[in-house]
Amino acid sequence: MFAATTLALEEGSGNLISPDGSLVFILILFVIFVVLLNRILFKPVGLVLDQRETLTVGAKAEARAAARRYQVQVMDYESGLRQARAQSYRFLEERRAAAMQERESVLQQAKQGAQEDIERAKAEIARQTADARVQLEKEAVQIARQVSGSILGRPVEGGAD
């Protein structure tokens, strides 16, 4: 090829491309190929690429919408969990307060029962003490009479009470 170019330059023609009838034929073939390729290849490929982009953009939009729905569902789920947890804590606190109140009530009843037992025991002790005093006073009088009778040698009646 270089040899042909060099040969053409050496002949002195000066013009490397000489327009003749084949140039017009090549131009007509070029235009026909451009039109055919445009109809057969470029337009369908362009349509496929446009459809692909539309589908891609649609899929991306759908994915974003699904992600938003997912986020909303997650937020709803977490909110529900927080509410359930709070309700559970309230229920546990109510149960604990009720148990503490019941415990306090039982303790109060036990204290009251113990106090009543103590009061009854004190009353019984006071009664027994009074009975024992009366009994001791009687015995003391008898012992005093016996001792006086033994010392005086005669029975002693009455006395200074």
pLDDT of residue 5: 47
Q: What is the mean pLDDT of the chain?
A: 86
- Between CA 92 and CA 51 the distance in angstroms is 60
pLDDT in tens, 61-112: 888 999 999 999 999 999 999 999 999 999 999 999 999 999 999 999 999 9
pLDDT at 117 over 70: yes
Task: Please enumerate in sequence order all residues whose Cβ is within 8 A of that of 35, keeping only pairs 6 or more positions apart, or say none.
Answer: none
Domain spans in the chain, listed from the N-terminal domain onward: 37-152
pLDDT of residue 10: 56
Over range 151-155, report the average pLDDT: 81
pLDDT at 115 over 80: yes
pTM for this one? 0.42
- Between CA 155 and CA 157 the distance in angstroms is 7
- Which pLDDT band, with edges at 50, 70 and 90, does 114 fall under? very high
